């Protein structure tokens, strides 16, 4: 993928089919400013429109202190109502683009994630977190509420009652608590979270890319339907794969006892 000079993100390939997207403002704990919102929207949109050879992405933060401290409150200090709403519209579009990105995105939380930082992670497909880090949706302490999907994604991950407790108290919680509640798929030792996320991303990228995208779509949208409708949706997603070259290659490779070579077509 070709991007203009990025100011707040760093993009780096990890092998032939995995892209590492790094929130790159470590001097402010990778806080999200307007420019980062623009760049995140651009990245997720491009991965949707034309992923090229990318089959999986890993989202992480620069440095060891934080994944993301949330919205940049220094930039927001004194911001007019109109400017605030304009900025948040940008953040909303970036959140939707991430949520609907057909390429699987793994969040690798290398440190603290607060507010919009945690919401960004919650919009990814699943999350690995470093042991000892702390997390919170603390917006009610600022006179707002989570507006990046937090009031929707957190209860879907940990249940309504626990989500209400965490959001209404703004109480921080630990990586260990998040893992116990099912919010985080895996806890990693310091310095290991990106490597472990990349190992999983590589396993995903080895599979048939069209199949991975259809399976992700079926899970994501199926959970918003009743079971019967969701199952019909699943079958439609399944049938789209029957005529693909990758389906033929997968069966052929199995019978020839070799690793398949998938081409995404």
Which sequence positions are flagged as catalytic? 119, 139
Tokens of 24: 């790159």
Nearest alpha-carbon partner for 263 in 18, 53, 48? 53
Quote the distance between the C-alpha of residue 185 and its chain's center: 13
Beta strands in the chain (DSSP E): 9-13, 18-23, 56-61, 66-68, 105-109, 112-114, 126-130, 134-136, 173-174, 186-188
99 touches 53 (CB < 8 A): no
What gap in Å lies between CA 43 and CA 93, rounded to an integer? 12
What gap in Å lies between CA 256 and CA 33, rounded to an integer? 52
DSSP letter string, 113-169: EETHHHHHHHTSSEEEEETT-EEE--GGGGTS---SSHHHHHHHHH-HHHHHHHHHH
Q: Cα–Cα–Cα angle for 19, 21, 25, nearest 5°?
A: 160
């Amino acid at each position: 993928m070709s991007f203009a000079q990025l100011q707040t993100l760093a993009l780096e390939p990890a092998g032939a089919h995995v892209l590492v997207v790094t929130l790159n403002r470590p001097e402010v704990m990778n806080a999200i400013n307007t420019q980062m919102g623009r760049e995140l929207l651009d990245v997720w949109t491009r991965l949707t429109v034309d992923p090229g050879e990318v089959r999986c992405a890993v989202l992480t933060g620069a440095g060891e202190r934080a994944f993301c401290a949330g919205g940049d409150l220094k930039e927001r200090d004194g911001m007019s109502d109109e400017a605030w709403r304009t900025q948040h519209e940008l953040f909303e579009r970036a959140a939707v683009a991430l949520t609907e990105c057909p390429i699987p995105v793994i969040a690798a939380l290398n440190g603290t994630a607060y507010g919009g930082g945690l919401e960004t992670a919650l919009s990814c497909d699943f999350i690995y977190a470093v042991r000892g880090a702390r997390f919170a949706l603390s917006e009610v302490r600022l006179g707002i509420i989570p507006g990046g999907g937090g009031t929707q994604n957190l209860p879907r991950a940990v249940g309504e009652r626990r989500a209400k407790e965490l959001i209404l108290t703004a109480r921080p919680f630990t990586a260990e608590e998040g893992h116990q509640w099912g919010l985080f798929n895996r806890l990693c030792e310091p310095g290991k979270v990106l490597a472990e996320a990349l190992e999983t991303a590589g396993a995903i990228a080895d599979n048939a890319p069209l199949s991975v995208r259809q399976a992700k779509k079926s899970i994501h949208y199926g959970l918003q339907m009743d079971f019967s409708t969701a199952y019909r949706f699943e079958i439609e997603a399944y049938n789209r794969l029957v005529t693909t070259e990758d389906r033929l290659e997968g069966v052929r490779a199995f019978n020839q006892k070799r690793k398949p070579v998938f081409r995404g077509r």
